[in-house]
Structure 1
Amino acid sequence: MKQFVVLFIVVFTLISSNFTVSAHTLSAENRLHTLDGEWVFYYKEMMTKGTFEQGKVVHIPSSFQKSVGVRNTYGTYIRKWSVPKEWRNHRLAVHIPFEYSAYAFYVDGKKLVSVGEVGPENLHETLLASRTAYFTPSKDTVTFQMEMSSFQQMRGGFENSIYIGNQAAVDRQSNLQFYRNTVVSGLMFMMGLLMLIFAWFLKDLREFFVFGLFCVSFAIRSFFAVPFLYEKVTSISYVGATKMEYIWTLLCFAIFIYLMKLYYEGFFAKWVVYSVWVICGLLIVITALTPPLVFQTLFFSVSWVMLPVFFYLLYVMIHSARLNKWVSRLNMIGAIIVFSGVILDYLKGSGVTTIRYEMTMPAVALYLLLQLIAIAKDFAEGRMELIRLNQSLDEEVALQTKQLKEKNEQLEALVW
């Protein structure tokens, strides 16, 4: 057990960090560049038209709403890009993490990659997925074209940055997040499974069962969230996968609140837990029965409820920490990290911020690391207490044996 916990902590610490490609470790030709900046947007015009009328200069990243005042529509973004001298006649790659729209990416009029079906509403088909386009420039400049369309969605447009660089560097960067999330999700699932097995044998420890359930649930949720691992290994539709992501997110929140209630038994009011369960339950039913535009809008409209719950949880933790319970302080740090990550992703999903990475995954990973530290410390303290009690019992038995022997000798002396 001790060796497993140590190994888990070391691997978790190394993998859960947000790695990025460092310019200090790459040569000039391997450095990644963002394609943010000025593009020209041609409203409701597609590449099939051949020629474009006057467009509007927009600064990428930008939503349809910000560019033309309409949340859902379609059009084409175009930009001319000067190829660095050292990159000419070399294999380059453009990585598109994902967009809140269907898209098709072109270089000099040639389609390289596409996600979903781009076009008017009757032709459009949404899909959230990352893609990498490869090409070899031979001229001083190339023209990038990005067709996009979004309908029946909360957001749409060229909202996420895309990156260009040497093929090896881009592949390394794009694969890193996929492998990191795969390994971290796998470790979470294994940790949760281990806790559930412990709970099976230690039936009086509900905390182990609920903690394990949270780990397993979050690992499943991560399968459907950015970077969309499900898309690599299954044929689940965009709508089905989006429903699964939201449902498992709500389940994780409900389980997390109950876990906090178990950790702070006597401090945490039951009505708070029941209220969260009712809200999450209703949202899960609505998510399962309605299209994305309905449940996504409702989800982001009522998610503000987590703020008073967070402040209440913080109050409970501070009150408990005053009793000099170090576990309470550790949980308080972990809960603050988790809620900070969730809030940042909420703001990103609402279009308020444009953070490149999903923050919930590393936040929960750090929280689980803190929980592992607490479990390891409690395990070590329990083991030391058991050793101390055994030693005390051995000493007591030895003393009783000695006293009994002395009494027997006294009795034998009296008899003789």
Structure 2
Amino acid sequence: MLLLQQSSWALYEPVPESYYVHQKNINSVTFEENTTTYLSGQWQYYPKQLLQTATPTRPSRTVLLPISFKEMGYPQNTYGTFIGHFKIPKEFIGRRIAIWIPNQYGAYRMYLNGDFLLRLGKVGKTIQTQQTENAPRFAYFIAESEYFTVTMQVSSFQSLHGGLENPMRIGVSQTVNRQFQQLMMSIAGVCGAVIGVGVFTILFAIFRGVRHSQSQGFFVFGIFIIFLALHNLFSAPYVYTVFTNIDWLWGTRLEYIFTYLSAFFFINYMFLLNQRYLHPAVFTIAVFVLSFNIVITFLSVPEVFEKLVFYSFLLGIIVVLNFAYGFYQTVNRHEPYSTINLWAVVLLCVTFLHDFLLSLNWIDSVNLSFASTSFYAFLIMVQQSKNYAYHSSRIEKLNNNLLCTRQIS
């Protein structure tokens, strides 16, 4: 799987250790044979400058990675250079070392001790000269010394994000490769299983008869979890980049489109489940807004359609409040309801809220939508399997009772 991911090997000249004696910020990175660590620490940032090596005469500031341009007080549409000095354990001198760079928003060029190592997209000083790309990358080098310097030229002009927002990792190349493969295969495996469950649910609804109200719910739910799995494939850490050549623009578009389609079929599922959970007026407005967002996402660039998410979130608050009020009425009136479905919906809404705030850099956390949506699909399938087993068992008992009655008569 890793062979499908772009990587680069570096042949570089080691810098004399005397050079690092005069450096103020040298970050010690500690990893072992089977572990990796973050390539973070203190870096020098040179705003609106594209450098290959540290230049004391140029204005700079010390920053802690990961960090965005916005967190440093700059606009998101800008460029600059990050330079960090590092020290690795002596026992790894002469070993193959790997740096795992997750997706960064924009474009970057990476240098090791001033020698070119890797690039993603094309770094530019204007929106016309930059070519954006969004995918994980790997840089490999053989450590000739325990000291080395990493330079990252970064630009961002076509996203609401920018800078080096996602932490890089460093370790022995074999360990880094294994961790990446484990992550990609686990996500792809779970998404494949969820898609399989979705296809089974759709076929079950079709053969049962789509005109039946309960079958319609199964049918819509099956479509919902398929788009949910596709959304997880096209969101961070962008598993789709491992086995497809889809460019970053359509990858970003499909990420948002699958998100909107998941929300579209989810609210349809809830509306079919019980109209009290979603008022017809709120349902109609939500369907219109999601359809409008899908069309705009198809036709526009990320700078435009990414902003729609923020405004659509205001409607999402109304939808969630409607869910809460509907469930409250159901519980207050002592009407029968599914406890599993109730808590699954609560979990899903909370994690989508969490990931939305994370996308806006309002909180410091990790994406939870993949875990929560997979768990949600699992809970619903457990409930459906339980109901199906109960009804099948009941039908078998009725048939057996009918046969016994005929034999007696």
**TM-score relative to the length of structure 2:** 0.85
1:181–1:81 Cα change, 3 Å: same
1:268–1:392 Cα change, 3 Å: farther
Task: Measure the CA separation in 2 of the matches of 1:388 and 1:272.
Answer: 44
CA contact (8 A) 2:107 2:131 kept: yes
Q: Which residue is equivalent to 2:196?
A: 190
Unaligned 5+ segments in structure 1 are: 1-26, 402-416
Task: Measure the CA separation in 1 of the matches of 2:346 and 2:40.
Answer: 32
How far is the alpha carbon of 1:298 from its aligned partner? 2.0
CA contact (8 A) 1:74 1:150 kept: yes
Q: 306-315 or 136-145, which moves further after superposition?
A: 306-315
How far is the alpha carbon of 1:265 from its aligned partner? 4.6
1:238–1:168 Cα change, 3 Å: same
What SS is found at the alignment partner of 2:62? strand
CA contact (8 A) 1:195 1:208 kept: yes
Counterpart selection for 2:82 from 67, 73, 77: 77
CA contact (8 A) 1:193 1:212 kept: yes
Q: Does structure 1 residue 104 correspond to structure 2 residue 109?
A: yes
Q: Does structure 1 residue 219 correspond to structure 2 residue 223?
A: no
What are the within-5 Å matches in structure 2 for residues 131-150 of structure 1?
131-150=137-156
Task: Measure the CA separation in 2 of the matches of 1:336 and 1:390.
Answer: 40
How far is the alpha carbon of 1:267 from its aligned partner? 5.1
What are the within-5 Å matches in structure 2 for residues 143-158 of structure 1?
143-158=149-164
Unaligned 5+ segments in structure 2 are: 1-30
Greater percentage in helix: 1
Q: Does structure 1 residue 353 correspond to structure 2 residue 359?
A: no
Q: Which residue is equivalent to 1:38?
A: 42
1:117 is aligned with what amino acid? K
Q: CA RMSD in A?
A: 2.1
Q: Deviations over 1:140-179 (max 9, x none)?
A: 3110111110003211011111111121221122222211
What SS is found at the alignment partner of 1:67? coil
2:309 is aligned with what amino acid? F
Q: Which residue is equivalent to 2:68?
A: 63
Q: Which residue is equivalent to 2:385?
A: 376
1:57–1:208 Cα change, 3 Å: same
What are the within-5 Å matches in structure 2 for residues 17-416 of structure 1?
28-47=32-51, 51=55, 53-121=58-126, 122-203=128-209, 204=212, 205-265=215-275, 268-321=278-331, 328-356=338-366, 358-399=367-408, 401=409
2:153 is aligned with what amino acid? E
Task: Measure the CA separation in 1 of the matches of 2:133 and 2:392.
Answer: 52
Number of residues of Structure 1 aligned to a counterpart in Structure 2: 373
Q: Which residue is equivalent to 1:18?
A: none
Q: Which has the larger radius of gyration?
A: 1
How far is the alpha carbon of 1:378 from its aligned partner? 0.2
How far is the alpha carbon of 1:86 from its aligned partner? 2.4
